[in-house]
Structure 1
Amino acid sequence: MTVPAFFVTATGTDIGKTFVTSGLVRRLRAKGIAAAALKPVVSGIDVEDAASLAASDPAQLLAAMGRPVTPAEVARVSPHRYAAPLSPDMAAAREGRPLDVDGMIEWCREKAAFAAAPLFVEGVGGAMVPLDDSRTVLDWMVALDLPLLLVTGSYLGTLSHTLTALDVLARRGLKVAAIAVSATPGATVPMAETLATLTRFAPGIPLAAVPRVDRVEEADAAFDALLATLGL
């Protein structure tokens, strides 16, 4: 039986990819399914600084998997790390360490091929973030050809951003398995209206609203609903 793997992308940075990914992994593990998550490329992290490490995206993913947050564990989840909170190409240029995009893609393929339980590969930033001088996250997604979970926000402007992303993904032949609308703190647009509009303009793609809450357990029902749309 083929183990499902998904690529988690978004319409932009700080939309909620890691919140959604970690929530899905945590819920699957609560059901006895040893799901895992990877964030192969991450910027804005200093593994030598305890506070930076604890607040990082890899730390959230490790916590969801029940693993300790240590530099060694972070390296297993996120092998390509940069200190500057910039796009990978810019952060890599500052450090003089270009991202080995081909090697990173092959690493992802191997992890997906040998996964024994559902695997989530989380991208970096939005779908068109540059990885090096010529390639973007979109090229990474095309190379892996995994079904996508598109995370978008509920802020004013999200409709255009989401529909633009869907158009770009479709033009490259990528399948969006579901859209997770992650509630944007302070958003002025009602979530119900955002969902209704996306349903009209993106028929056939399952939608799930995910509240951004202080206690992640309060979003369990939303994560369970999203898992159901993904067939998990």
Structure 2
Amino acid sequence: MASRPFQIFVTGTDTGVGKTEASSALLSLLADAGLKPQGFKPYESGCAFLSAPADTLAMREAAGSTLPVDALCPHRFKAPLAPGVAARRLGREPDWDVTLAAWEKLRHGPVVVEGAGGLFVPLDSWHDVIDLVAALRLPVLLVARSGLGTLNHTALSLEALASRRIPVRAVLLSRGTAGKDSSEADNRQLLEERHRVPVLGPVPYIPDARRRRAAFRRALKPLLP
């Protein structure tokens, strides 16, 4: 029997925690293994140019994909707001069926899906990110900040996922700013002990983009088969 393709949903405890860096790292590892993955970010906000959504393009480049942007990101908004909020300001309602139809074309191969912000960010008037995770029936990589405050935010996210019986492959801790944080040494151990979930990282803060990408790849490599 053929093994199932690698598929995962990357979500976060908040916005700006490193979801796209994690998604791109996973896609590049899959591409290096010759698996021809795709990166799917169905909702992206804060697009300076709607034809060139930055996160989607970063994921497409990491995957080595040639698919058009519309196939990888059907809902795009200029305003740097939750997708559902950005759409409401425009008097629009993102079509859930369009999202599911785009997924249907990608779901048979290796794919990394990235959400928008955290689990309860609205995507339209009826659905939050957690509803998308449940609809796609994918395991989750939860990206969280590595410093002070992450225990509470991560625990709330993990409990929300558990309440929907959504499996969590791992938590990835990532530091996005310079400086030391005395809580980092304990966070990984406490999260593993209390929630019985693998915790990867922390990925250190590295200003150099190339070295930071390499650090994400090293941290996430254990997830791959």
Task: Tell me the TM-score normalised to structure 2 length.
Answer: 0.87
Instruction: Indicate yes or no: 2:194 matched with 1:196.
Output: no
What is the RMSD computed on CA atoms of the aligned residues?
2.2
- CA deviations over 1:129-169 (Å, ceiling 9, x no partner): 01122221111111111111111111321110000000010
Partner of 1:46: 48
Which whole-Å CA distance do the structure 2 matches of 1:25 and 1:133 have between them? 31
Instruction: Work out which of the residue numbers 95, 98, 102 in structure 2 matches 1:103.
Output: 98
Partner of 1:58: 56
Segments of 5+ residues of structure 2 without an aligned counterpart are none
Percent identical among aligned pairs is: 35
Segments of 5+ residues of structure 1 without an aligned counterpart are none
Q: Aligned ranges for residues 146-185 of structure 1 at < 5 Å?
A: 146-185=138-177
Partner of 2:214: 220
Which whole-Å CA distance do the structure 2 matches of 1:21 and 1:31 have between them? 16
Query: Does the residue aligned with 1:93 lie in a helix, a strand or coil?
Result: helix
Instruction: Indicate yes or no: 2:80 matched with 1:85.
Output: yes
Cα distance, 1:77 vs structure 2: 1.8
Instruction: Work out which of the residue numbers 15, 19, 22 in structure 2 matches 1:20.
Output: 22
Residues 164 and 87 of structure 1, relative CA distance in 2, 3 Å threshold: same
Contact conserved, 2:178 with 2:205, CA < 8 A, in 1?
A: no
Cα distance, 1:188 vs structure 2: 4.3
Which whole-Å CA distance do the structure 1 matches of 2:147 and 2:179 have between them? 5
Residues 221 and 15 of structure 1, relative CA distance in 2, 3 Å threshold: closer
Which whole-Å CA distance do the structure 2 matches of 1:46 and 1:223 have between them? 28
Partner of 2:126: 134
Which whole-Å CA distance do the structure 1 matches of 2:50 and 2:9 have between them? 28
Residues 138 and 175 of structure 1, relative CA distance in 2, 3 Å threshold: same
Contact conserved, 2:44 with 2:73, CA < 8 A, in 1?
A: yes
Which whole-Å CA distance do the structure 2 matches of 1:180 and 1:77 have between them? 24
Q: Which amino acid aligns with 2:58?
A: Q
Structure 1 moving runs of 4+ over 4 Å? none
Which whole-Å CA distance do the structure 2 matches of 1:48 and 1:198 have between them? 38
Task: Tell me the TM-score normalised to structure 1 length.
Answer: 0.85
